[in-house]
Structure 1
Amino acid sequence: MGNKVSKKNAMAIIAVALVSFSGIMAETAMNVTFPALTKYFNTSLNAIQWVTTAYLLSVTIMITTSAYLNKKYSPRVLWLMSLLLFTIGTFIGGLAGNLPILLIGRVLEGMAAGISMPLMFNLIVRLVPGSKIGLWMGIGAMVVSLAPSFGPTYGGALIDTLGWRSIFFILLIIPLISLILGWQTIIPGEQIKSNVSFDVLAFGMLSVTLTTALILINQLGKGTVNVWLLIVMLLALGAFIFRSLTSQQTFLNIRLLSNYKFSMLMFPVVLYMFANLGINLLLPNYLQNVLHTSSFWAGISLLPGTLLGGVLNPYFGHLYDKYGNKVPLLLGNTVFASSLLVMAYFIKSLNFSAFIIMYMIFTLGRNLAFSIGMTASINELSIDKKTDATAILQSSQMFMGALGTTVAALYGSQRGGLAIGFENFLWTLLAIALIIFVMFFIRLRSKSI
């Protein structure tokens, strides 16, 4: 029995995983609705992309509090909190009559995902015996990896039949299932008492920094730079860094960024997230607006690639165990860069089927380097630093994902049109892939890998 996961514990993990899955799926499901939403709300793609960006920003900010929340509250309290936020946010999103109300719903959904994702992995660590921890961590990673693949297909199918509001209302079934599975299995437990207080000031400063940064970048689409907003961002960033280095209260341990082994893998990992969510926004819109594909088939275009990447995640872990991180990192980034080169150079001659194949190759390379890089960056740290490293990685990934959607929307709104914008974005990602090569080779020469 000591080597088995009880039915009760398995159901508890699944109950929390459902909230994480639905939150991530809701994020990607909205990408294929952008053409319809721009018409419905009579606005631009640059404004509509905040449907995704606001969600990711909300997840980012919430994840930064995860270490503190897990010290202060029981899993049951956090699970119920995420359920309530997701239900209210999804209901508001489905009823939204204007863009600001829709964004409020998305922010609440993001807060729910920001609580449930770290909680899912925390429950796995607490409830699964050591002999099964690898399997269940793989299952957790698969939930996070596969959810984005179902989102565009789910959204594309519904927007062509029942309309974009149905994307929200049908999702309300998932919190109900989670409640049924978790009510008797996620036990109240004792509240964890911590003598270390939460650094509200540092949290507020980081939130202001991230929010103003995205607004500033978004405004570049209008050809303007708000100087006062730039000053606020720089002051908030400086104050956050100073506060983090001097405060004794609990928040993010940014001193980890000075750790060469960690930072030289962290930056490639977050750049892969930037690339992934940027393409996930532009490709379905390119297929609809340039190749005149239906919303349903535009959503389907991402499914084979993301499914392939998610299913192969356990095998990628095997490669790490067998070869270390040198070969998988270089191989993954080579495949990643090659796919971008082909798509950028031959974009005018690629049809729908060709884009599906190229996206599969893109995801294969990206997922290989991404998963190995994330594992290696944390694995080389001492135990007392792993929690902080995980929080930094997860929060920075979400922010870079939000940044990716914002930048991609700017490219898509260029005067030359979506076709030119998508091509230029692909060339930009290829340049990023080359920068990642430089990071890997610098690390190789230092004999850190």
Structure 2
Amino acid sequence: MNTAGVAPGPQGKDLGNIKKLPIMISLIIGAFFSILNETLLNIAFPDLVVELGVTPSTIQWLSTGYMLLVGVLVPASALLVQWFTTRQMFLGAMFLFSLGTLVCAVAPGFSVLLIGRLLQAAGTGLMLPVLMNTILVLYPPDKRGAAMGTIGLVIMFAPAIGPTLSGLILDSLDWRWLFYMVLPFAIFAFFFAFIYLKNVSDITKPKVDVFSIVLSTLGFGGIVFGFSSAGEGHGGWSSPQVYVSLIVGAISLIWFVLRQIGSKSPMLDLRAFKSPMFSLTTLLLIIVMMTLFSTLLLLPFLLQGALLLTAFTTGLIMLPGGVLNGLLSPLTGKLFDKFGPRALVIPGAALLIVIMYLFTQVSLATTTGMFIALHISMMIAISMIMMPAQTNGLNQLPRKYYPHGTAILNTLQQVSGAIGVAFFISIMSSGQRVFLENSSDPTAPQQQAEALLAGVQKSFTVGLVFAVAGLVLALFMKRTKAPEE
């Protein structure tokens, strides 16, 4: 009989008697507000540019810096969760997030606001792997789908309501209230966890490889920084800031991988990739994240830049799909437990191809209702793929690889997100430029709108290619069983 997740750990801890509900509530509250924070501020960027007296490329570092630090911290989390208890990790993460939220709320200028954002990012970067690892430890494989679905509800619902909630707040209040309103909930999450959260992890205190931490930071940080800088318009791909960062990141990452393979106690154990379904899941999630970003990034550009809708209206258009995606996550989790991954992932990947094709056909005459319907359909397809595939891949790992598997998936999702932003902005900009070069009156508003549409359609076409690749991978997916330990 398989007892993964409920058997006593190496330290003799009997997890079968631990009450799971208070632990899950603690984790979900903290995760919800930390993830909500990722999209809550973006819609306020135009106001911040004026109030703080900085350029748009500078203000973007409030988002890029956040993504950069999360991408750097997540790989180290595989080591940290073996040195510190679940309580210590989560409470430390919530303390950093709460402190960062307070700093942002009272920030007198851009520099202090950026410091606050980085503190928030540090909390988020430490919290997400703890969340995933705790579920793997608490729940046996045949119950993980429903648990991961509940987490999927939080992960997708929080960023979905972020822009809409932000628009409502900014309609009548100062941007600082975006942080003042989050702070009480963050503090509540800290004290709720302090009272109810129990430790479920195994503290093994492996050797700390400082050089691997440095290589990981330079590797993942350099790649995220390079792609983000290219996407933000710092001279494009020819900018030294971009290509030097990418070269340093690539060399450091290769060195990091080789060092982990040759180490007896690696910081990030890449032997997790010996599990074929975990490797397949990793590739599939990267492709799906790229496809998702092609839409979540391009749709606001099209709706606001070409159709001249407000940011708040754009947020409302994208709200139903995001909310439905979150609400479906627990259902797809339960269906995964009953029917396995293929019954969800393959139809989801096929639906995603259809939706991406329809997105390539949109025009300036496309109705708001059609955009809402396409976005809802796409988010349904994503919900059928993301959590079932991720749960299936992690289920194949031995328990000792849980921290490493969750860290690998979270890291690569952050990196693919950064790459997706830069990649699709570059494609969109290229399509715009080609259209305007052949235009008889490139300064005319109608021509500029048509140019933006042409760039977006070109990007959606590339997104369609990614979706096809995702379906090909999905066809090879099989239901996994946890290895005997």
Q: Shorter-chain TM-score category?
A: 0.7 to 0.9
For residues 52 and 89 of structure 2, the distance between their equivalents in structure 1, rounded to whole angstroms, comes to: 35
Unpaired stretches in structure 2, ≥5 consecutive residues: 1-14, 434-450
The aligned counterpart of 2:115 is 104
For residues 93 and 264 of structure 1, the distance between their equivalents in structure 2, rounded to whole angstroms, comes to: 40
Distance 1:406 1:111, change over 3 A: farther
Deviation of the 1:369 alpha carbon: 1.7
For residues 96 and 419 of structure 1, the distance between their equivalents in structure 2, rounded to whole angstroms, comes to: 38
The aligned counterpart of 2:421 is 405
The aligned counterpart of 1:205 is 215
For residues 427 and 166 of structure 2, the distance between their equivalents in structure 1, rounded to whole angstroms, comes to: 23
What is the CA deviation profile of residues 91-120 of structure 1, one whole-angstrom value per residue up to 9, with x for unaligned ones?
233344555543332222121112222333
What is the CA deviation profile of residues 51-105 of structure 1, one whole-angstrom value per residue up to 9, with x for unaligned ones?
3332223223222223322222223322221122112222233344555543332
Aligned length: 443
Deviation of the 1:155 alpha carbon: 1.3
Matched, 1:176 2:176: no
For residues 38 and 420 of structure 1, the distance between their equivalents in structure 2, rounded to whole angstroms, comes to: 28
For residues 162 and 41 of structure 1, the distance between their equivalents in structure 2, rounded to whole angstroms, comes to: 17
Query: Which of 320, 323, 344 does residue 360 from structure 2 map onto?
Result: 344
Which amino acid in the other structure matches residue 91 of structure 1? L
Deviation of the 1:266 alpha carbon: 1.2
Matched, 1:283 2:299: yes
Which structure 2 residues correspond to residues 68-217 of structure 1 after superposition, within 5 A?
A: 68-96=79-107, 98-124=109-135, 135-186=146-197, 193-217=203-227
What is the CA deviation profile of residues 418-446 of structure 1, one whole-angstrom value per residue up to 9, with x for unaligned ones?
544433322221111122233334x37x9
Matched, 1:264 2:274: no
For residues 218 and 146 of structure 1, the distance between their equivalents in structure 2, rounded to whole angstroms, comes to: 25
For residues 256 and 363 of structure 2, the distance between their equivalents in structure 1, rounded to whole angstroms, comes to: 43
Provide the TM-score with structure 2 as the length reference. Answer: 0.80
Structure number with greater Rg is: 2
Provide the TM-score with structure 1 as the length reference. Answer: 0.86
Which amino acid in the other structure matches residue 291 of structure 1? L
Match of 1:346, SS state, is coil
Task: Let me know the Cα RMSD of the aligned residues.
Answer: 3.3
For residues 289 and 77 of structure 2, the distance between their equivalents in structure 1, rounded to whole angstroms, comes to: 20
Which amino acid in the other structure matches residue 180 of structure 2? F
The aligned counterpart of 2:377 is 361
For residues 369 and 88 of structure 1, the distance between their equivalents in structure 2, rounded to whole angstroms, comes to: 35
Query: Which of 460, 478, 484 does residue 426 from structure 1 map onto?
Result: 460
For residues 209 and 60 of structure 2, the distance between their equivalents in structure 1, rounded to whole angstroms, comes to: 31
For residues 94 and 426 of structure 1, the distance between their equivalents in structure 2, rounded to whole angstroms, comes to: 37
Q: Is the 8 A contact 1:59 1:398 kept in 2?
A: yes
In percent, how many aligned pairs have the same letter? 25
The aligned counterpart of 2:340 is 324
Distance 1:122 1:327, change over 3 A: closer
Deviation of the 1:124 alpha carbon: 4.8
For residues 326 and 123 of structure 1, the distance between their equivalents in structure 2, rounded to whole angstroms, comes to: 25
Q: Is the 8 A contact 1:216 1:229 kept in 2?
A: yes
For residues 328 and 205 of structure 1, the distance between their equivalents in structure 2, rounded to whole angstroms, comes to: 38
For residues 117 and 82 of structure 2, the distance between their equivalents in structure 1, rounded to whole angstroms, comes to: 27
Match of 2:81, SS state, is helix
Which structure 2 residues correspond to residues 8-19 of structure 1 after superposition, within 5 A?
A: 10-19=21-30
Query: Which of 275, 294, 305 does residue 310 from structure 2 map onto?
Result: 294
Query: Which of 394, 397, 401 does residue 385 from structure 1 map onto?
Result: 401
The aligned counterpart of 2:247 is 231
The aligned counterpart of 1:28 is 39
Deviation of the 1:382 alpha carbon: 3.8
Which structure 2 residues correspond to residues 434-445 of structure 1 after superposition, within 5 A?
A: 434-441=468-475, 443=476
Which amino acid in the other structure matches residue 378 of structure 1? L
Distance 1:98 1:195, change over 3 A: closer
What is the CA deviation profile of residues 202-233 of structure 1, one whole-angstrom value per residue up to 9, with x for unaligned ones?
22212212222233334443232425434322
Which amino acid in the other structure matches residue 460 of structure 2? L
Match of 1:196, SS state, is coil
Which structure 2 residues correspond to residues 239-258 of structure 1 after superposition, within 5 A?
A: 239-257=255-273
Deviation of the 1:27 alpha carbon: 0.5
Distance 1:357 1:410, change over 3 A: same
For residues 136 and 372 of structure 1, the distance between their equivalents in structure 2, rounded to whole angstroms, comes to: 11
